[in-house]
Structure 1
């Protein structure tokens, strides 16, 4: 690829990221104003920064998933570059269209010399893993629809056991037919979804002052992931904005007071947005291997 073409691609990727930052700032400002400080207890004020730290620490897992998907296609990029390219482009998901994060990674990858087909396949597999892993959480939704939270054996919901079993089958199939990197990518995707959903469930527990209950935590976690998934696959919804919140309201209306639910939904959006901004700054300041995906060890 010619030098001036590379410069154009880098410039386009940078512009996408900068425009997205403006959108993120606007959404974050709107969500902060939606909060009612009068309903936020001291425990909630303590939980918010802690959950922000947890979610921010988990966010680079998504870059690691992409890293393994590239390796699965015999494209052994350096981890530092994968983190840079993923984090710098991922913030663009807040742009209307919900596709610019993939366009940004395509742009940065091609500018770095990675084949366009490899990048397209990695995007396809990334979306497939997100949808496939997220869809497994549908197994945990029935208690919310039936308003019964008591299906269990010695303290463990049967549906949770079924979910874990299906995850293990999925990982085994991927390892058998697509190799260890595909297996690692899927395992990390399940791990990240579990952390993100559990973050919301813990927030709900704190805000509603509900005693820790495995069935309730499982249902709240599953509801969050399904709401996230529907937001993901809805065309034109930047970062699932509005879609995720509406689905959560529908699924959880019988499990918590509406005011508490609205507060948890608003705070969770703030937490995820802050974590995405943190990933962007981590990636763009992690400059050691930005120029070449194949340098380093």
Structure 2
């Protein structure tokens, strides 16, 4: 992104984050008695515990996808242990202001493993494109009427957005590998396999996130499959608001806005806040695993 646009974009993202946090806080103050009465502490703790384990499994899949992309676009010699540990150890950094420090930490770790700067940056861009493409694809299951009023104008354009993202993936991937046919062994086969494997990991991550959220959501009428497009839309919103630390505030506001009309605003707010706790606990757990598990590849 040009430097002239970086600062305004971050300011806009920070402003949206503050607005979303303010909305969530305002609704919590208004609905606190109802939210507190929704579930007893034992039920909340057990639900969050199960959700944390499931969401952590999704986090492991994200780390595996990062390894697959590094192998496909940077170096086939990078080991799974090294790449996965680097990804896990960087996760907590996304909660720092700016929402970029986890990317920087992963980049530094990959450079320490001997990978070149440009291929690692290429893998990071590919990761973002694939994640957004998968999230947009999954959001298609949500009818236009299920979107907030401010977002319904996007519904007719979803197919165009999806085709555009996959077109970017194809162009990006072709340009990346065109000049590296001789640099990587089995470039096309390994590269395509890596991208497809990463895409499968991202699809599975969103599915596990929906299952984890279901452990917290007191709405028998909705199962994990029905929650999947909502989770994808909320993740996408948090990802696209540049500068929002881990999507903080943005995803909670979207969850309340999307699920409130379906199950009640207090129930949606309760689940959104509990889910934020789950994601933080999961990132902390993965960070500890990344720190404690030795890297035998060295």
Same fold (TM over 0.5): yes
SS at match of 2:263: coil
Q: Is 2:237–2:247's contact at 8 Å kept on the other side of the alignment? A: yes
* Change in 2 beyond 3 A, CA 1:111/1:288: closer
Whole-Å separation in 2 of the counterparts to 1:108 and 1:46? 35
Residue 119 in structure 1 maps to residue 120 in structure 2: yes
> What is the CA distance between 1:277 and its match in structure 2?
0.4
Instruction: Report what 2:15 is aligned to.
Output: none
* Change in 2 beyond 3 A, CA 1:181/1:271: same
Q: Is 1:138–1:226's contact at 8 Å kept on the other side of the alignment? A: yes
Instruction: Report what 1:82 is aligned to.
Output: 83
Instruction: Report what 1:241 is aligned to.
Output: 248
Q: Is 1:87–1:279's contact at 8 Å kept on the other side of the alignment? A: yes
Whole-Å separation in 2 of the counterparts to 1:235 and 1:142? 26
Whole-Å separation in 2 of the counterparts to 1:83 and 1:176? 22
Deviation per residue, 1:154-187 (Å, 9 max, x gap):
xxxxxxxxxxxx9xx99xx999895211111111
* Change in 2 beyond 3 A, CA 1:178/1:287: closer
Deviation per residue, 1:184-213 (Å, 9 max, x gap):
111111111111123213422xx23x25x5
SS at match of 2:262: coil
> What is the CA distance between 1:139 and its match in structure 2?
0.7
Whole-Å separation in 2 of the counterparts to 1:177 and 1:282? 28
Divergent runs of 4+, >6 A = 173-177
Whole-Å separation in 1 of the counterparts to 2:71 and 2:147? 43
Whole-Å separation in 1 of the counterparts to 2:190 and 2:61? 23
> What is the CA distance between 1:218 and its match in structure 2?
3.1
Q: Is 1:69–1:181's contact at 8 Å kept on the other side of the alignment? A: yes
TM-score (norm 1): 0.70
Instruction: Report what 2:201 is aligned to.
Output: 188
Instruction: Report what 1:40 is aligned to.
Output: 39
Structure 1: any 5+ residue segments left out of the alignment?
Answer: 1-26, 148-165, 290-294
Instruction: Report what 2:13 is aligned to.
Output: none
Q: How does 1:68-217 map to 2 (within 5 A)?
A: 68-73=68-73, 74-142=75-143, 145=146, 178-204=191-217, 207-208=218-219, 210-211=220-221, 213=222, 217=224
* Change in 2 beyond 3 A, CA 1:253/1:82: same
SS at match of 1:185: helix
Residue 229 in structure 1 maps to residue 227 in structure 2: no
Instruction: Report what 1:56 is aligned to.
Output: 56
Q: Is 1:144–1:252's contact at 8 Å kept on the other side of the alignment? A: no
CA RMSD of aligned residues (A): 3.1
Whole-Å separation in 1 of the counterparts to 2:63 and 2:147? 37
Q: Is 1:63–1:86's contact at 8 Å kept on the other side of the alignment? A: yes
Instruction: Report what 1:279 is aligned to.
Output: 286
SS at match of 1:59: helix
Q: Is 1:80–1:286's contact at 8 Å kept on the other side of the alignment? A: no
Whole-Å separation in 1 of the counterparts to 2:253 and 2:58? 25
TM-score (norm 2): 0.70
> What is the CA distance between 1:108 and its match in structure 2?
1.5
User: Once structures 1 and 2 are overlaid, which stretch shifts more, 106-115 or 63-72?
Assistant: 106-115
